[in-house]
Amino acid sequence: MGQEELLERAKAGEVEAFEILASEHQKYIYNVILRIIFDKEEALDLTQETLLKAYLNIKKFKGNSSFRTWLYRIAVNSAMDYLRKRNVERNNFREIVEFENGVKDFETPEEVVDKKLTAEIVMKEINKLPIDYKVVLILRDIEGLNYEEISKIMNLNLGTVKSRLWRARNLLKERIKSLPEFLSLDERRQV
């Protein structure tokens, strides 16, 4: 059974069809929420909340975007609402999400530790970005979504998505360049 048929059956109220669709996307929803809020327990709750919202509103899905994009939009909105409601401090970082899965066989333990520390620093700095920049950066550079998908998820025009991404990357680059961990030896002596 294809996704189109599952969607039609879910819109008609068939719970099993929706459960199949939800199970295909649950992991992706969880990952994007986790990367936005950095809290495993809350990300699990928000994933369930996202799927419940999708189930309750499946009849409103018009097909103007892919089902995945529609779910991502609900997930991103839920995560952003969570951050706004809880007024979470951007630097209240609890969970590190690594950029890479697995370790290459030829890496030394020092290289592995260095990569992990670098990933932690970068994720902490991403977490400090203004939420609109942070979400666009996560969706594009970590989740790998294209500009059109991000535009639909965030309900922004394409130019705004590209502009926010450009600003987010530049702001992140400037913040990282100014960190003592990334200064050259000569620059450290001057500080």
pLDDT of residue 163: 94
pLDDT digits (tens, 9 = 90+) for 147-156: 999 999 899 9
Mind listing the domains of the chain with CATH numbers?
A: 1-99 (1.10.1740.10), 104-190 (1.10.10.10)
At 103 the pLDDT is 39
57's CB contacts (< 8 A; 6+ apart) are: none
Mean pLDDT for the chain?
Answer: 81
pTM: 0.64
Render the chain in DSSP notation, one character per residue. --HHHHHHHHHTT-HHHHHHHHHHHHHHHHHHHHHHH--HHHHHHHHHHHHHHHHHHGGG--SSS-HHHHHHHHHHHHHHHHHHHHT--TT-------SSSS--TT--HHHHHHHHHHHHHHHHHHHHS-HHHHHHHIIIIIS---HHHHHHHHT--HHHHHHHHHHHHHHHHHHHHTSGGGS-HHHHHH-
The percent of residues above 90 in pLDDT, for the chain, comes to: 43
Poorest-pLDDT segment among 106-110, 158-162, 180-184: 106-110
Residue owning tokens 């939420």: 131
What is the distance between the alpha carbons of residues 90 and 130, in angstroms, rounded to a whole number?
Answer: 8
122, 137 Cβ separation under 8 angstroms:
no
Q: What confidence tens digit (pLDDT) does each residue in 45-98 have?
A: 999 999 999 999 999 888 888 899 999 999 999 998 888 887 644 434 434 334
